[in-house]
Amino acid sequence: MNPRTVVLAFRTVAVAEALSWIGLLAGMYVKYVPETSELGVQVFGPIHGAVFVAYVVVSLAAARVLGWSRGTTLLALAASIPPLGTVVFERWAGRTGRLGVPART
C-alpha cells in the first residue's frame, strides 16, 4: 500500500466518523428530548456504524503501513469512542509526524 493513499484514507475516514457521530447525536436528541421523530437515528445509526468499522480497518492499515507503535495504534482505536475523538487524534497524529507529515515549525 502507498503511504500517501493510507494517510488520505485515514484523514477522510476520521472526519467522516466524526461527522456521522454528530448526525447520530442530533438524531438521538430529536428522538429522546422532544420525542418527535426517530428518523435521525434510523438514518445516522447505520451510517455511523459503517463508518466506525471503516475507521477501525483504516486505522489498523495505517498502523501497519506507517509503522505506528502499539500505543499509537491503541490511541487511534480509542479515539473512535468519544464524539469527535477521531478528528482530535488525526490532528495530533499529523502534528507529531505520525501520518508521515513532518511537524511544522
Q: Give the model confidence (pLDDT) of 31-75 as tens digits.
A: 999 989 999 899 999 999 999 999 999 999 999 999 999 999 999
Q: How would residue 100 be classed by pLDDT, with cut points 50, 70 and 90?
A: confident
At 105, the pLDDT band (50, 70, 90 cuts) reads very low
Pick the closest to residue 80 from 43, 53, 101 (CA basis).
53
Task: Check residue 87 and give its pLDDT.
Answer: 97
Determine the pLDDT at residue 101.
57
Percentage of the chain surpassing pLDDT 90? 88
Q: Give the containing element (helix H, strand E) for 63.
A: helix 39-66
Report H helices in the chain: 3-32, 39-66, 70-78, 85-95
Q: Span 67-93, mean pLDDT?
A: 96
**Burial label, 35 (beta-carbon count in 10 A; 0-12, 13-18, 19+):** exposed
